[in-house]
Amino acid sequence: MLSLQSPRVLRLADAASVATAAITRIAARVSERPNCVLGLATGRTPLAVYDGLAQCVADGRLSFAGVETFNLDEYLDLPAGHPSSFRAYMAERFFRRVDIDPAKTHVPSGEGRPGDGDRYEAAIRSAGGIDLQMLGIGQNGHIGFNEPGTSFDSRTHVVTLTQATRDANTADFPNGERPPPRALTMGIATILEAREIILLATGTHKADALARAFGASPDTSCPAAALRFHPRVTVICDEEAAPKGSVLANHR
Ligand code: PGA
């Protein structure tokens, strides 16, 4: 029987402080265990985290040479090498800027072949599972591309993206192009198997999602609420994202 846990909360002044806290946590885990397995996220929130980690490597303070990574999700139905794919995002923002072995960087396949989800799960298992998973949160409460209504038992699977998510991500696509309607995402149960999770949220537009995730009764209408069943979650948010009057607003 799963029991409700209380997340640790780092409520910080601004987005820059959120990035610094995430960089510190990831760098600590990589330093402690140079061959650790990281779960990575795309989106706007982690950009400063990747900049900071790349700087640590450039300064000779950190190495990703032994690290293996698994990203949360990828669009389906994009032409190979599309600049808005999450594989392209990760290459440009992080993988090419650090000393990681490209063979150890995993992003779900966007090719839509039968069995791709199962193969991704098997690859995570054979790497020994994810030590530290970084997550963002969608305005609708999604984690990865697990949209509202997704079962907390879900494994890596194909999803149909909501209009809201496609609208939110349109800015990442070249002029006039829309994000594709489908993606392959780690499931919620897959995410919950990570040994440690950090959830990053910045800006007033994330406050409602955090309020629903960490409000009274977790249910599938807010996928991030599943994190309340995980024993080792740290919410790292700024003042703007911390919902007023919620459990998160009481932490500093
Ligand atoms: P964002 O996306 O970091 O671009 O806000 C987060 C998410 O949708 O998970």
Whose tokens are 């989800």? That residue is: 117
Whose tokens are 């990442």? That residue is: 172
Nearest atom, ligand 1, residue 206 CA: 5
- 147 assigned to active site: yes
pLDDT of residue 52: 98
Q: Which residues line ligand 1 (CB under 6 A)?
A: 43-45, 136-138
Determine if the pTM surpasses 0.75: yes
- 193 assigned to active site: no
- Of 91 and 176, the structure prediction assigns the larger pLDDT to 91
Q: How far is the CA of 202 from the centre of ligand 1 (A)?
A: 10
- 153 assigned to active site: no
For the chain, percent of residues with pLDDT exceeding 70: 96
Which residue among 40, 42, 86, 150 is best mutated to probe the pocket of ligand 1, counting the most ligand atoms within 8 A of its Cβ?
A: 42
Nearest atom, ligand 1, residue 46 CA: 3
Q: What is the pLDDT of residues 68-98, one digit of tens each?
A: 999 999 999 999 889 999 999 999 999 999 9
- 205 assigned to active site: no
Q: Which of 68, 71, 73, 121 is catalytic?
A: 73
Q: Which of 68, 121, 147, 238 is catalytic?
A: 147
CA distance 113 to 51: 33
Nearest atom, ligand 1, residue 43 CA: 4
Q: What is the pLDDT of residues 27-68, one digit of tens each?
A: 999 999 999 999 999 999 999 999 999 999 999 999 999 999
Taking CA atoms only, the protein residue closest to ligand 1 atom 2 is 43
